[in-house]
Structure 1
Amino acid sequence: MTVAHPIPRAWISAANTGAQNYDEFADDAEITAIIAANPASSLAIEMPHLAPGSLGQTFTEALPDAAARLAAQQERGDYTSAEQVAVLYRITAPGEQPAVGLWTMVDTDQISTSADEPGLVIRNEDVFLAKVRERVALAGTVNTLLSPVLLLQTGRGDELHETLLAATEAAGEPDATDSDQSGRTHHVWVLPAGKQQDELLALAGGGELVVADGNHRSLAAQSGGLSRFLAVVTTPASIAIQPYNRLISELPAPPGELVERLTAAGATVTDLPRPPRIPAKGTIELYVDGHTYAVQLPADPNVPDVENLDHARVERVLLGQVLGLDPGDKRVSYVGGDYSADWLRSEVDEARSELAVLIAPVTVDDFVTVNLQRQKLPRKSTWFTPKARGGLVLSQLS
């Protein structure tokens, strides 16, 4: 049995439509600038209220603009259609091993979020419900899924990796090629119905799949009543986990009180005479008012191990107890590994934020352990690279 299936009607990029996924940005202004430079970017549809022609509207108000943009792009040939296909995917960069994957549709009823919930697709991270509602509304308006859920094949990952490498090497000229902001090149090949497609779908959907990126999109598929969702199934050999940091735009108390509040909450705070950098596991680094602090946040012995991971302690102790902020507060920005420690420091030095929080990446061992236990990681705690590109392969909903 496989939970991976062909895409009934796919739209394949034929122009410069590829883009970072809508949730990979630290600042909305970056999205507007990308769309202004490239109106064909799928971000103009994914985040319609941030397109230059729709600024000032809410997300909901701008949804008709999203539908009109997609229809216009399909009509002028920015995408070409194909039926009952899977799509081979390869990402390359100098000095990196190729990452490979398969674009496919995966059964929504296979999503499992707890040990007593059966299913081969394990969603492992808490989400922001407002973002989920936006994805449901967008899919309902444009009748199309524009960016995939990235799924990690854990059961047959090695076999899938070797088979995909061989398939992409033998595939010839790609059907679409795109370059991303980090210098990686993305190639896709349409794979029609036949023996090779059947074999790859069986491998892709033949073991437990962990949501590596796209927790909101997978829940949106459930909430929107979709029987299947668009996914890229990739392999452990294709990915790495990078840091996922935070910026606080406005502190609820003067910066000078932060150390005192941390100490009162049971944290150990050390003033460091250097710029901030990504710390080792078990310590976070804070940059505020020109100072760097190494902070060990207290653990809670009465909670499961996952709730004492660094990102969970940041959410519970730093945001909740010390700053009195909910994780979904608009003053909290989640900044992925594409942004360096120097960039985070500059955001504070240039007064666009008041506090930078630097956190060690979740280890692969911790990630696997949490998933096998069917527990949830804190929101925005795993930044997998390389990311699957949005706008390369779309799935039209029936």
Structure 2
Amino acid sequence: MNNEGPAANGGLHLIPFRGLRYVPERVGSLAAVTSPPYDVIVRPDGLHHLESADPHNIVRLILPQATTAEDRHSQAARTLSRWLSEGILAADDEPALYVYEQRKGDILQRGVIGALALTEPSDGVVLPHEDVMPDIVADRAALMRTTAANLEPLLLTYRSTGNAVGATAVIERTIRHSPLLSTTTEDGFSHRLWCVTDAAELAEIHDDLARHQAMIADGHHRWATYLRLRGEHPAQGPWNYGLVLLIDTARYPLQVRAIHRLLRRLPVADALSGLAGSFRVRHLDIPLVQALDALAEAVAEGNAFLLAGDGRFHLVDRPDAGLLNRTVPVGRPEAWRTLDATVLHSTLLEHIWQIPDAPEHITYIHDAEAAATQAERVGGTAVLMHPVQEEIVRKLAIAGVTMPRKSTSFGPKPATGLVLRSLTMD
């Protein structure tokens, strides 16, 4: 392994690795063995669907099912070992960086997958923008520690001048060749993967990325996991690097979506009664799409949320200014204090509804319809959010200010299962 770290160049340091990939002849189809990232799969029926798609679906590694956490992690390690020995998964012959493309309609995303040298936020090389939940970091660390593998890449973004130079030039030359793999998943996205092994092209990517810093778009918990495990392995080696997908958003802009909250133990009627005199509440007997449009209009004027769970929607906006002054922490930038997620957690969850931010009370769901449906199913309240602008996210990240956890969802997210990284082979 090349042990030159980020301190030597001050920017991103991405190195090749021997990717673990499914052997196409040993599985039903590549689409059938992939899955969304682990934290997007929130419904048991979604997990069952993926497990049923193919006996070797990657979900059996990223979300193994067993009675205890220890059993789950051990089961994943055994499954990975068995798939390697049976030739379900195999390592590529030589280390490579991987060009990855996702496409659906007008959406086109291209980037480079590699092993990135780990840095602290204070180094200013990789910038987080959200807080993390310690219990999730602990669980992901135990899984990664037991399997000795990076099972899915984080999504990181950086900004170039937008010209086809450096890494972007290599990407756009590489895609002219036949890919290593090509598949279309059931969400309609096509995925293609190429490897880059040429020394001159690797150097071109290296020199370009060394001039940039990156923001974590998706994968804060896995990044925190990487850092924790690096601390457990102080000697220079594979644990000093983590699997990432780097996207130049000047060339390939990402979409920013909201992450919604399911308040499992708060009925809608109780949620609404708690808001009396503090927020304006309007009841909407309209379809979800129209209700989300109404939310977007309200957000343009200030903090607003859409509550669901009783068969209709309730638009909550115009919070009392005095209430916000009393409940939102001071000493932070105004851009942070006025975030919907900040007001939700500080004013609504902590002060008005007094709901702990714990898994038994709050579930984070990426899909608005799924959040509303589950709220009706469990008799709880779904709080539907409007997306934050990417420029606000990046501005806060550069300033070193983290947003409340699960404030954003950048995408499209890389499919899990197309390329893995073993820490025993690097």
Do the two structures share a fold, i.e. TM-score over 0.5? yes
| 1:179 matches 2:191 | no
| 1:150 matches 2:155 | yes
Range with bigger deviation, 58-67 or 266-275: 266-275
| 1:293 matches 2:314 | yes
| 1:256 matches 2:269 | yes
| 1:392 matches 2:418 | yes
Give 2:98's aligned residue: 87
In structure 2, relative to structure 1, the CA distance for the partners of 1:342 and 1:8 (3 Å cut) is closer
d(CA) in 2 for partners of 1:344 and 1:72?
A: 36
Give 2:5's aligned residue: none
Give 1:47's aligned residue: 63
Quote how far apart the aligned CAs of 1:100 are.
0.3
Give 2:284's aligned residue: 272
Give 2:53's aligned residue: 37
d(CA) in 1 for partners of 2:264 and 2:339?
A: 24
Q: Aligned to 1:333, what secondary structure does the other structure show?
A: strand
d(CA) in 2 for partners of 1:384 and 1:43?
A: 21
| 1:118 matches 2:161 | no
Give 1:317's aligned residue: 347
Range with bigger deviation, 268-277 or 313-322: 268-277
- How far does the alpha carbon of each residue in 1:198-224 deviate from its partner, in whole angstroms, 9 at most, with x for none? 212332343010000000010001111
| 1:129 matches 2:150 | no
- How far does the alpha carbon of each residue in 1:212-261 deviate from its partner, in whole angstroms, 9 at most, with x for none? 0000010001111131111100121241101211122221xx54332221
Percent identity of paired positions between Structure 1 and Structure 2: 21
d(CA) in 2 for partners of 1:374 and 1:202?
A: 26
Matched letter for residue 211 of structure 2: G
Q: Contact 2:17/2:114 (CA < 8 Å) preserved in 1?
A: no
| 1:11 matches 2:20 | yes
Give 1:307's aligned residue: 337
Q: Contact 1:101/1:164 (CA < 8 Å) preserved in 2?
A: no
- Structure 1: runs of 5+ lacking an equivalent: none
Pick one of 185, 193, 196 that aligns with 2:201: 196
d(CA) in 1 for partners of 2:263 and 2:185?
A: 27
Pick one of 81, 91, 100 that aligns with 1:71: 81
d(CA) in 2 for partners of 1:321 and 1:140?
A: 38
Quote how far apart the aligned CAs of 1:187 are.
1.0
| 1:140 matches 2:145 | yes
d(CA) in 1 for partners of 2:39 and 2:312?
A: 29
Q: Contact 1:84/1:193 (CA < 8 Å) preserved in 2?
A: no
Quote how far apart the aligned CAs of 1:70 are.
0.8
d(CA) in 1 for partners of 2:125 and 2:76?
A: 33
Q: Contact 2:167/2:208 (CA < 8 Å) preserved in 1?
A: no
- How far does the alpha carbon of each residue in 1:22-75 deviate from its partner, in whole angstroms, 9 at most, with x for none? 1112324422331132221111011112xxxx4xx1222122211111112222
d(CA) in 1 for partners of 2:248 and 2:166?
A: 7
d(CA) in 2 for partners of 1:157 and 1:22?
A: 31
Q: Contact 2:387/2:408 (CA < 8 Å) preserved in 1?
A: yes
d(CA) in 2 for partners of 1:74 and 1:14?
A: 10
Q: Contact 1:175/1:190 (CA < 8 Å) preserved in 2?
A: yes
d(CA) in 2 for partners of 1:375 and 1:12?
A: 37
Q: Aligned to 1:84, what secondary structure does the other structure show?
A: coil
What is the TM-score normalised by the length of structure 2?
A: 0.82
Range with bigger deviation, 5-14 or 138-147: 5-14
Quote how far apart the aligned CAs of 1:359 are.
0.8
d(CA) in 1 for partners of 2:61 and 2:272?
A: 43
Quote how far apart the aligned CAs of 1:8 are.
3.3
In structure 2, relative to structure 1, the CA distance for the partners of 1:164 and 1:363 (3 Å cut) is farther
d(CA) in 1 for partners of 2:143 and 2:385?
A: 32
- How far does the alpha carbon of each residue in 1:167-226 deviate from its partner, in whole angstroms, 9 at most, with x for none? 3432x2211223334210111111114111221233234301000000001000111113
Q: Aligned to 2:17, what secondary structure does the other structure show?
A: strand
- How far does the alpha carbon of each residue in 1:83-103 deviate from its partner, in whole angstroms, 9 at most, with x for none? 32111111111232x200101
Q: Aligned to 2:345, what secondary structure does the other structure show?
A: helix
Q: Aligned to 2:72, what secondary structure does the other structure show?
A: helix
Pick one of 368, 372, 382 that aligns with 1:345: 372
In structure 2, relative to structure 1, the CA distance for the partners of 1:303 and 1:58 (3 Å cut) is same
d(CA) in 1 for partners of 2:287 and 2:383?
A: 13
Q: Contact 1:156/1:203 (CA < 8 Å) preserved in 2?
A: no
What is the TM-score normalised by the length of structure 1?
A: 0.88
In structure 2, relative to structure 1, the CA distance for the partners of 1:144 and 1:329 (3 Å cut) is closer
d(CA) in 1 for partners of 2:186 and 2:179?
A: 20
Quote how far apart the aligned CAs of 1:76 are.
2.6
Matched letter for residue 265 of structure 2: E
- Structure 2: runs of 5+ lacking an equivalent: 1-8, 25-29, 231-238
The alignment covers a number of residue pairs equal to 378
Q: Aligned to 2:105, what secondary structure does the other structure show?
A: coil
Q: Aligned to 1:389, what secondary structure does the other structure show?
A: coil
Matched letter for residue 187 of structure 1: R
Quote how far apart the aligned CAs of 1:292 are.
2.0
Give 2:260's aligned residue: 245
Q: Aligned to 1:139, what secondary structure does the other structure show?
A: helix
Matched letter for residue 71 of structure 2: E
